[in-house]
Amino acid sequence: MKPAFAGGGTGGHLAPAVALLEELRERGDDSGGLILTAGPAAASLERKVPAARVVSIPAGSFSCRRPWTIPSRLLRNRRGYRRSLAALKEYRPDLVVGLGGYVSLPPLLAARRLGIPAVCHEQNRVLGRANRFLARGSVPVIAAFPLESPGIDPGRVVRLGAPVRRAALAPAPEGTREAWGLEPGRFTLLVLGGSRGARPVNRLLEAAAGIWSARGETGEIQVIHCAGTEDSRRLERTYRERGLSGVVFSSLEEIGRAYSLADLAVGRAGGATLSELAAWGLPAILIPYPFATGDHQMANARYFQEAGAARVFPQEEVTPELLVREVERIRTGRELRREMSEAARGLHDPESAGKIIDYLEGMLESYDRTG
């Protein structure tokens, strides 16, 4: 099977493409695939999946709050559509998988023009604008979680879970804990503050470190913090000054190492992150990004909370003191952590990648018979 994937804007949108290409390679299919994306994700993908052909296309999102930008975005998306047409004609994929985000729209419209079968994968509980538009145009949707999107024909939605890339599943090799300066047996907090829009989470942890220090509790906890390039140095200095042990990364590609060493995670509630937390059965304190399209991060987070896998706090309500109390409650509640971990694992389907590949192959067979 020769797949093409379209999506991006953020690395999280593209994580399923990496996982599905890994599944194909595991089945002996080294065709590599085509990935149509935009922004910094393009360069990182070339490192993650060197066998794939990565094509960067112009694309832009539309905002009714900034109507003066609409004409330039239309022109940008038109260029993206034309570049997608050229790339698809050259590569000639069997099908195109849209992964959400504004970048996915020009390639999937180009696929329709060329008569190439298309399908969307939605990682969140609420369809994004691009996937919603495509789904209403009769493109089938593969959902990671039960959808909260009225107006979409349920007959065109199949729930097959969220495939997780190998780098997020690989545990820390021997010696990693020591290399990161972590103490064996000490409660380890993983902070996922490296994504766009997660700086408030970083500031929250910075203030929490001051509370732990003032209470003389820094010996009870240690931190693995993915902080992004803008905050990493400041947080390193803050933790050092407060006497809080741990390690700070601007980014960490081998995120599975951090998951495997953590007892509790704190972060946003994007679909890719939650899928990885579920795969590890890692309890979480979730602070959804309040400006996510359709408030999809809150919908994601509530789903995990209702299952018992997470605690959820809106950004406008959470304070450093509240966070410290909640971390302490989970840290000292061994049975609570076990229950949250089991609940998280129950939300993960380890066969998701295989099921999606099987579905795509069946879709192609049906298309060949009827097309």
Q: What is the CATH number of domain 168-345?
A: 3.40.50.2000
State mean pLDDT over 353-368. Answer: 92
pLDDT of residue 138: 77
Residue 19, both tokens: 């996982």
Which has more pLDDT, 151 or 53?
A: 53
Q: How far apart are the C-alpha atoms of 32 and 50, rounded to whole Å?
A: 8
Domain ranges of the chain: 3-164+350-370, 168-345
Tens digits of per-residue pLDDT, 284-315?
999 999 998 889 999 999 999 999 999 999 99
How far apart are alpha carbons 91 and 288 in whole angstroms?
Answer: 38
| Stretch 272-277: mean pLDDT | 96
Quick one: which of 188, 208, 163 has its CA closest to 313?
Answer: 208
What tens digit of pLDDT does each residue of 136-149 get?
877 899 999 999 87
* pLDDT tens-digit map of 62-76: 666 777 777 887 888
Q: What is the mean pLDDT of residues 83-111?
A: 94
The CATH fold of domain 3-164+350-370 = Rossmann fold (3.40.50)
| Residues 302-332: b if buried by 16+ CB within 10 A, e if exposed | bbbbeebbbbbbebeebebeebbebbbebbe
Q: In this model, does residue 371 exceed pLDDT 60? A: no
At residue 95, does pLDDT exceed 70?
A: yes
pTM of the predicted protein model: 0.92
Kindly state the greatest CA–CA separation across the chain.
70
Taking residues 179-186, what's their average pLDDT? 95
| 244 and 223 Cβ atoms separated by less than 8 Å | yes
- For 236-274, write each residue's pLDDT tens digit: 999 999 999 999 999 898 999 999 999 999 999 999 999
Quick: pLDDT tens for 207-227: 999 999 999 999 999 999 999
3-164+350-370 against 168-345: fold identical: yes
Q: Give the model's pLDDT for residue 343.
A: 98
The count of other CB atoms within 10 Å of the CB of residue 24 is 21
On average, the pLDDT of the chain sits at 91
Range in 38-42, 233-237, 325-329 the model is least confident about: 38-42
